[in-house]
Structure 1
Amino acid sequence: MRNTTKITAAVLATGALTLGLTACGSDKGDTKAKASDPLVVAATPVPHAEILKYVKDHLAKKAGLNLEVKEFTDYVTPNTATEDGSVDANYFQTQPYLEDFNEKKGTHLKSVATVHLEPLGLYSEKAKKTAELKKGATIALPNDADNESRALRFLAASGVITLKKGSESDATPQDVAKNPKNVQFKEVEAAQTPRSLQDVDAAVINGNYAIGAGLKPAKDALALESTENNAYNNVLAVTEGNEDDPRVKKLAKLLTSPEVKKFIEDKYAGSVLPSF
């Protein structure tokens, strides 16, 4: 049974961003929730909300968890909503993105479970192989610092560019040392990278947005990010102080259960990989 509430960034962004984040985060931790209270979790639609819906429909009731899923379509509002108490937790982001967000926005978010990896992919409607990218080709990149740096490292690993030594952890387009094809970069919001394919020669797209746009990463990507030694696992996160909420602990256990592992493997066929 689908009981998911879709909320766009426009609904909550203004209120969430204008609240005093530090104060709100602290206030929320002062109120202990009852085990029977709904656990409201923010998630982007694919695959996060789909995985949560599986938990809700097949595992939550038996575990005594009243789970409510709210969908968001951006990478900012789920964190600000978690910080200010509009939701109890979120499941949409990687650990490096969470850490960068905390540093830049002054939030106090903590990961409580590592669930899956969505490999970045390079996609194109004009080339079938990376080698077929023409000279001067334009490649769209996610415009947030963490995903852009990750995308540039991915392009370097794929042989498209070479980065300056020492710049890998926080690379920007200015850190490109060698660019044999003289590719140009177009920075766009991560959620918009699939749409940008019509206007550019190729795009680096996050796995969840690729799947949401009907792309099959394991099949359609010109190149796919390796899972080996990859720090970009997706996590379940809460505001600091809420890590021991029994409802959160139940959800963390369910999200890393054998049932969820099988669901991810069967549904996404390699495009989303369990991290546990």
Structure 2
Amino acid sequence: MGTKKISILILGAILTITALGGCVSSKTTTATKNNTSVKKQVVKIGITGDDHNVWDKVKVTLAKENIDLQLVNFADYIRPNMALSDGDIDLNSFQHYAYLNKFKKDHKLQLTAIGETVFAPLGIYSKTLKSIKDIKDGAKLAIPNDATNEGRGLNLLQSAGLITLKTGAGNLPTLKDITKNPKNIKFIELVATQIPRSLEDVDVAIINSGVAIDAKFNPVKDSIFLEKASGDKTKPYINVIVTREKDKDNVLYKKVIKAYQTDEIKAFIKEFYKGAEIPVF
């Protein structure tokens, strides 16, 4: 084979490899339909816990628009925001406004909410007690150790009449803001996702709705006291879909919001969760 022919073959191989390389993208996949190639746009969304029933339905809707929504599961409340900021995922959906605002301030992240989903009421749970009236002097109570959920939990305890907080403590009170604790409750601070497993070792526990559902609890039936939606006080605890600030107007991500905020999804949430999660769109 002549030198000229070899050169042409090598050049052709390089061009072929280059062309193939150009088809690979973190934002697109290629599927075949009716013997034709169909490019799908990929959106990676971070979630926590094992419950993704709603997102499975959203995936089906988006697939009809050639959008491949990929769920990326995280075991804690820290990594989903860090992964989003680093560009490892495109969106996340696991947190409320209060948590997002504090987290991005503490970590200096450029993140923003672009859509609202549900209000998930916080609850007080017990393996042994049937009512908060049964809580005895010196009871051990597990409470989330992150600032926003701990503050929310303390406000819940105040509304249940178990403690009194300092006037003006706001949405983020700490244990130091407790001015009255008539039952001498002993607080045990734990990572929110670990609290259900602590129920064997404590008398009562404050558990996020999503975490409770993952632990096979029904917040409406199994809690001994449940947070109520109450207008402006509810707003900080509405769950949101989040992206990077630079991507807040991304047309593709807006399609994800639109696919979530439908009458079909709203009806499913009401039927499936029966008050454990309340749609707000």
Q: Aligned match of 2:159 in 154, 157, 160?
A: 157
Return the match for 1:272 from 264, 277, 281. Answer: 277
Q: 1:195 to 1:177 in 2, by over 3 A?
A: same
C-alpha distance in 2 between matches for 1:211 and 1:100: 25
Residues 107-116 or 62-71, more deviating: 62-71
- Of 38, 42, 50, the residue aligned with 2:42 is 38
Does residue 246 (structure 1) correspond to residue 248 (structure 2)? The answer is: no
- 8 Å CA contact retained: 1:46, 1:208: no
> What is the CA distance between 1:180 and its match in structure 2?
1.4
Offset, 1:169: 2.5
Alpha-carbon deviations, 1:169-199, whole Å to 9, x = none? 2211111111111111000001011111111
**Distance in 1 separating the partners of 2:86 and 2:200:** 38
Alignment of 1:224-239 (within 5 A): 224-229=226-231, 230-231=234-235, 232-239=237-244
Deviation at 1:202, TM superposition (A): 0.4
Aligned ranges 1:53-132 → 2 under 5 Å:
53-57=56-60, 59-132=61-134
Give the counterpart of 1:52 among 51, 55, 79: 55
More strand by share: 2
Offset at residue 133 of structure 1 (A)? 0.5
What letter is aligned with 1:85?
G
Matched to 1:162, the amino acid is T
Aligned residue in 2 for 1:209:
211
Contact 1:116 1:273 in 2 (8 A): yes
Aligned partners of 2:41 and 2:66 also within 8 Å: no
TM-score by length of 1: 0.85
* Contact 2:26-2:42 within 8 A present in 1 as well: no
Contact kept, 8 Å, 1:46 with 1:209, in 2: the verdict is: no
Code of the aligned partner of 2:47: A
Q: CA deviation at 1:259?
A: 1.1
Contact 1:65 1:250 in 2 (8 A): no
Q: Distance between the aligned counterparts of 1:207 and 1:63, measured in 2?
A: 32
| RMSD of aligned residue pairs (Cα, Å) | 1.6
In 2, Cα distance between equivalents of 1:271 and 1:144 = 22
Distance 1:50 1:247 in 2: 22
Q: Distance in 1 between matches of 2:201 and 2:134?
A: 17
Of residues 242, 261, 270 in structure 1, which corresponds to 2:266? 261
Unaligned runs of 5+ in 2: 1-24, 29-38
Change (3 A) 1:46 1:261: farther
2: distance between equivalents of 1:67 and 1:93?
19
Paired amino acid for 1:52: W
Q: How many residues align?
A: 244
Which consecutive segments of 4 or more residues in structure 1 shift more than 6 A? none
Q: For the residues of structure 2 that align with 1:144 and 1:45, how far apart are their CA atoms?
A: 17
SS of equivalent residue, structure 2 residue 64: helix
| Structure-2-length-normalised TM-score | 0.83
In structure 1, the partner of 2:34 is: none
